[in-house]
Amino acid sequence: MRLGVLDVGSNTVHLLVLDAHRGAHPWPAHSQKERLRLAEQLGEAGELTRAGADALVKACAQARRAAKELEVDELMAFATSAVRDATNSAEVLRRVREEAGVELRVLSGEDEARMTFFAVRRWFGWSAGRMLVLDIGGGSLEIAAGIDEEPALAVSLPLGAGRLTRRFFQSDPPSAAELAELESYVDEQLQHRELDALRGWKMAAATSKTFRSLARLSGAAPSGDGLWSPRAMTRQGLHQVRGFIQRMASSALAELDGVSASRAHQLLAGAVVAEATMRRLGIDELRICPWALREGVILARLDQLTGR
């Protein structure tokens, strides 16, 4: 069966087409991305700007045409925090439906955390035991934990790398005062009372481009080593990376191995969130998982289709 997943995230609109069936690894057949940075295209009232909405409609229409040309059996389209939090989200969704022919499902932050956890569980398997999973996106931070495929705890906080960069950083690299203000805000958000119950996990894992980039800078294997090459990041290693990159302009960061030019300006905010979260939860090391929300959506749908 050929499935398509259209992921409208805070940074990119990503179409992933896979050939999959029950019991088999879902193999990618096609991937295309449009970098829209929707989390950074919000007006003063929190609305997605006209330019941002126009770009989203165009990207969704292109993805729909590509899915049709690739003979996709089913296209699943979902949006995360950038569309979810926009004050004009209903109007934006209407435009995408009527002008691009795509019905976008808006995931709640908790659903996002649950589906990401599900994908990470499937990747590492039952031998991982009780897991804690972190995911830093452009608009939000997702935290989930549990011993089953469905996490016992799923929390979403407004600590996405793009959102925070736009709100707190005016200079490049940011000033000491801007960094201090960001750190204070992140620590305040991480006082979420549900996080006090998080303890006793066997494995702490992380997914998302932000964590992969930070892990690469701390010495993890490059992407060229393949999907199955084990990757991890320690809190000490992350602290050293942060001390290094906070003095660099985003243009210089973009030249480092493992850092994409389109996200370089967000990396420091992501590092602040990652380090503060590891400190808050007492995490010494994170295993990096290549599967995330998109794979979780695909795997859940395959389970429905095959009656698992």
- The tens digit of pLDDT for each residue in 242-282 reads 999 999 999 999 999 999 998 999 999 999 999 999 999 99
Q: Is 193 exposed, middle or buried (0-12, 13-18, 19+ CB in 10 A)?
A: exposed
pLDDT on residue 306: 64
- Encoding tokens for residue 178? 């801007």
Q: Which tens digit of pLDDT belongs to each residue from 65-82?
A: 999 999 999 999 999 988
Among residues 153, 104, 160, the alpha carbon closest in space to that of 273 is found at 160
Task: Report, as an integer, the average pLDDT of 198-206.
Answer: 94
CA–CA distances in Å: residue 293 to residues 98, 124, 191, 208: 26, 15, 25, 9
Using pLDDT thresholds of 50, 70 and 90, give the confidence band for residue 146.
very high
pLDDT on residue 308: 52
pLDDT on residue 10: 87
Q: Is pLDDT at 26 greater than 80 in this prediction?
A: no
pLDDT on residue 203: 98
Question: For residues 20 and 22, what is the distance between their CA atoms, to the nearest angstrom?
Answer: 7
pLDDT on residue 210: 96
State what percent of residues in the chain have pLDDT above 90: 81
Using pLDDT thresholds of 50, 70 and 90, give the confidence band for residue 118.
very high
pTM for the whole structure: 0.93
236-264: buried (b, 16+ CB within 10 Å) or exposed (e) per residue? ebbeebbeebeebebeebbeeebbeeebb
